[in-house]
Amino acid sequence: MSRKGRRAVYVISVAADLAGMHPQTLRIYERKGLVDPYRTPGGTRRYSQTDIDRLKMIQELTGQGLNLEGVKQVIDLQNEVERLQGKVEALRKQLVELAEESERRIRETHRSYRREIILRPESLPDVKR
């Protein structure tokens, strides 16, 4: 998500308007742990575009018949998928780095063989045709 999408700029009334919900619904979703808006030092809720997108997703899921506990499970699963995708990407990067290092060591070893093998004409068998 872009930095702009995470910037908490909307007060609750504007966020509710953008999401097509009543402000009290946003408070309920926050109590249930479905959304976690930024709080200013004075305690005012500030919602980001990411929060608005999540509210719209919650609305869509509840519109399809999912209750709030089901929505919470969907969100938890999405978070777990994102976490695991990040882990897979980190492991993939580590694997590429290890493969490159292995290739470098193999080339280095092969170059050292060339320096160690010395052919002397007198050690070669005398082959006549």
Q: How confident is the model over 89-126, as pLDDT tens digits?
A: 999 999 999 999 999 999 988 887 766 666 676 766 66
Residue 3 has pLDDT above 50, yes or no: no
Gap between the Cα atoms of 18 and 7, Å rounded: 15
Q: Which CATH class is domain 1-65?
A: mainly alpha
What integer best gives the mean pLDDT of the chain?
89
* pLDDT at residue 105 in the model: 93
User: Counting every residue, how long is the chain?
Assistant: 129
Provide the b/e sequence for 58-69 (b: ≥16 CB within 10 Å): bbebeeeeeeee
Question: For residue 2, what pLDDT is reported?
Answer: 47
